[in-house]
Amino acid sequence: MTAKIIDGKAFAAGLRLRVAEHVERLKSEHGITPGLAVIIVGHDPASQVYVNSKAKQTQEVGMNSFKYELAEDVPEQEVLDLIESLNQREDVHGILCQLPVPKHIDENKIIEALSPAKDVDCFNPSNVGKVAIGLPGPVPCTPLGSLMLLRDELGDLSGKNAVVVGRSNLVGKPMAALLLRDSATVTVAHSRTKDLAAICAAADIVVAAVGRPQMIKKDWIKPGATVIDVGINRIDAPERGEGKTRLVGDVDYSGVSEVAGAITPVPGGVGPMTIACLLANTITTTCLANGIEPPSDLTA
Ligand code: GUN
């Protein structure tokens, strides 16, 4: 069997079109233009690339984009004051501070300073709790994107055996909560899990989010299973020339794609979904702030 390739890039493009339609409706029917504010502290090149993509895609769907670039040595209080002023602004419906922040700034203070109603990353504990019990609100972007791809591939997830490999607060834990909400039977595996291969081999769905390049192997996967690879790892690629690198996921793609039913590639799988889901969350927070029912096609 050769697995079907799940085209996250194409799905994300479709999702952005749906977001753009909702933006248009908010403007024409309610006179509201959703606004997303992005804060970046310092000059980390990878963060710069992410933040520029976020700002560009925000504008492309017709939202207002507000970008704040702060110096590497900005006092923590200045970042907190900026967040507080954005919390108060009516034209800002979503706020995110790109992580990591420099060491002198406490990441948790940043997350807690952000109004939960504008927390489009869904990092605030109150929003994490809402995800767990199924209340409306933003949903962590990468798990939401993974869930959308799974639903699109499999339809109803009810009763499926799902294994999430990785228990991070950002991906593993919220992914498990979302799968459980969809009535999957969920196992969360992690670095202390015994006989991971056997646990994965019983799964209809494997979500790999461990951050270890090509760890999930072909003989761990049940024939026909759906594999979602959240990992983005840069490894040396001497075959491409001296000093060259390439991106790989947490799944050994060439082997696993011989047995899986469907698989997300890296790049081009879950990655493109993350920013599209950030925009979807901004629609959700805009609607909730204005007493409008959030669109069901943009959330869990
Ligand atoms: N850094 C890496 N990924 C993310 C993300 O999803 N949100 C924020 N705020 N920072 C990040």
Closest CA to 250 of 219, 203, 212: 212
Residues 107 and 147 in one domain: no
Please say whether the beta carbons of 180 and 133 come within 8 A.
Answer: no
Give the end of a domain, one of 100, 115, 130: 115
Helices 8-30, 141-154: axis angle to 10 degrees equals: 110
From the CA of 121, give the closest atom in ligand 1: 7
Please say whether the beta carbons of 283 and 30 come within 8 A.
Answer: no
For all residues of the chain together, what is the average pLDDT? 98
Residues 179 and 220 in one domain: yes
Mutate to test the pocket of ligand 1, among 38, 49, 50, 277 (most ligand atoms within 8 A of CB): 50
Per the domain annotation, does 126 fall within a domain? no
What does the pLDDT look like over 155-169, one tens digit per residue?
Answer: 999 999 999 999 999
Q: Which amino acid is at 120?
A: V
Q: Is the pLDDT of residue 114 over 80?
A: yes
Residues 160 and 250 in one domain: yes
What is the model's pLDDT at position 232?
A: 96
Per the domain annotation, does 55 fall within a domain? yes
What is the model's pTM? 0.97
Residues 160 and 256 in one domain: yes
Query: What DSSP assignment string belongs to 226-267?
Result: EEEE---EEEE-GGG-TT-EEEE-SB-HHHHTTT-SEE--SS
Ligand 1 centroid to 51 CA: how many Å?
9
Can you give the C-alpha Rg of the chain in angstroms? 19
From the CA of 96, give the closest atom in ligand 1: 9
Residue carrying the six token digits 């992690």: 190
Per the domain annotation, does 278 fall within a domain? no
Total domain count, the chain: 2
Residues 149 and 229 in one domain: yes
Give the end of a domain, one of 115, 130, 153: 115
Output the residue whose Cα is nearest ligand 1's atom 9: 98
* pLDDT average, residue stretch 97-118: 98
Range of the domain at 97: 30-115
CATH number of residue 216's parent domain: 3.40.50.720
Per the domain annotation, does 179 fall within a domain? yes
Q: Is the pLDDT of residue 18 over 90?
A: yes
Ligand 1 centroid to 298 CA: how many Å?
19
Residues 227 and 147 in one domain: yes
Per the domain annotation, does 120 fall within a domain? no
What does the pLDDT look like over 172-210, one tens digit per residue?
Answer: 999 999 999 999 999 999 999 999 999 999 999 999 999
Residues 151 and 101 in one domain: no
What is the model's pLDDT at position 5?
A: 98
In which band, very low, low, confident or very high, does the pLDDT at 74 lie, cut at 50, 70 and 90? very high
Residues 151 and 268 in one domain: yes
Per the domain annotation, does 82 fall within a domain? yes
What is the model's pLDDT at position 58?
A: 98
Please say whether the beta carbons of 147 and 182 come within 8 A.
Answer: yes
Per the domain annotation, does 34 fall within a domain? yes
User: In degrees rounded to 5, what are phi and psi of residue 233?
Assistant: -125, 135
Q: Is 67 designated active site? A: no
Residues 161 and 212 in one domain: yes
What's the CA gap between 115 and 120, in Å, rounded? 10
* pLDDT average, residue stretch 242-271: 98
Residues 197 and 262 in one domain: yes
What's the CA gap between 196 and 216, in Å, rounded? 9
CATH number of residue 104's parent domain: 3.40.50.10860
**CA separation (Å) from 123 to 112, 119, 221?**
9, 7, 32
* CB proximity list for 138: less than 8 A, separation 6 or greater: 94, 119, 120, 121, 122, 127, 281, 284, 285
What is the model's pLDDT at position 165?
A: 98
Per the domain annotation, does 289 fall within a domain? no
Residues 108 and 155 in one domain: no
Q: Is the pLDDT of residue 86 over 90?
A: yes
What is the model's pLDDT at position 149?
A: 98
Q: Is 54 designated active site? A: yes
Ligand 1 centroid to 220 CA: how many Å?
30
Q: Is 98 designated active site? A: yes
What is the model's pLDDT at position 1?
A: 72
Residues 175 and 241 in one domain: yes
